[in-house]
Amino acid sequence: PEVPPASVDVPAAWHHAPAPAADAPMAGRVGEDRWWQDFGSAELDALIDRALTANRDRQVAAARVAQVRALAGEADADRWPQFDAVAGTSNGRQTTLDPKARVSSIGVQASWEADVFGQKGLASRAAQLDAQAAELVRSAAQTAIAAQVASVYFDAAGTVRRIGLAQQRREVALQNEAANAGLLSAGLATRAELERRRAETRVLRAEIDELSATLHLCELQLAVLTGTTPGTLRLEYAAFAFSPENAPPRLAAAPRWLPGELLEHRPDVQRALREVDAAAARVGVARLDLYPKFVFSWANASESAQIVDQDAATNIALGYG
């Protein structure tokens, strides 16, 4: 008998991804610039901006980007005709009998190497890939710095809220302790109950001290990350503009990538791919360097001569030299 085909329920989306709105834009890549602004905290934005400005690794990466972009522009310009202006002047004699003369020249030269076999195109592509790889390094550095600052800031903000809750619990414990002391005086409670209340108060006091030390450590880390003198940061840890149930549209519309696809969008993986492609392009350049080259050149120059020593020229002409 014929076996009917199996019916399999396939989900419409990856089960860990939120379902975005139909008209919501999708983020283009991991590490998108200024992503931290979606958290709606002006204080966090200022801290990250300060950290990005003060971080030396990011400054080196940005300088590297400028360098490779300039090299890419140079490689791309090499595909176009080259123009040179030539000018010069000289003083002297051809022989001891000749008068001293000044010879001036000025002209224009042009040359162009035809990219018949695509060597210059490959060189330009390799330089562009180098520029993209350097940009990915800068982006990865920026993402790492911003993520580190945001992580420490979130830890500090959570610690502040935990300290507030612990202080409220301690106030309640102090009230219970005072109430038990009154009941003990009236003979309605035992000494053990009062000591238990006092122990609860001491535990909460120790918890608040521990949380305060954690908050101090977080603020020291933020000072180091932002290049600020420790103790000068005045942070309020204001509540964020959204909750997990009410996220900004762009966060809610996160890309629905599978884990393997997410790995491909990492800046370090993308940088390695660019470097491999650039190396392959340079291999092509080296191979094409064995092929003939076709160079077209053109030059136009004019010269003028002027006798400097007129008396010597007259003596030579009269035969008195």
Across the beta sheet with 82-92, the strand order is 82-92, 101-114, 294-307
Which residues, listed in sequence order, are joined to residue 87 by a DSSP beta bridge? 106
Pick 32 or 285 by higher pLDDT. 285
Alpha carbon distance 259, 272 (integer Å): 19
pLDDT at 22 over 50: no
Mean pLDDT check: name the lowest of 139-143, 184-188, 254-258, 290-294.
254-258
Q: What is the per-residue pLDDT for 277? A: 92
What letter would DSSP give residue 98?
A: S
Whose tokens are 């003060």? That residue is 54
pLDDT at 13 over 70: no
Mean pLDDT check: name the lowest of 29-43, 146-160, 199-213, 307-321.
307-321
Radius of gyration of the chain (CA): 38
Tell me the pairing of strands 82-92 and 101-114. antiparallel
Please state, rounded to an integer, the average pLDDT across all residues of the chain. 79
pLDDT at 27 over 50: no
Does residue 290 contact residue 54 with C-beta atoms inside 8 Å?
Answer: no
143-151: average pLDDT: 91
pLDDT at 8 over 60: no
Pick 311 or 49 by higher pLDDT. 49
Q: Is residue 314 helix, strand or coil?
A: helix
pTM above 0.85, yes or no: no
Nearest by Cα to 249 from 13, 12, 33, 23? 23
Residue 58 banded pLDDT, cuts 50, 70, 90: confident
163-179: average pLDDT: 91
List for the chain the helix, strand, coil content (%; round to 5): 55, 15, 30
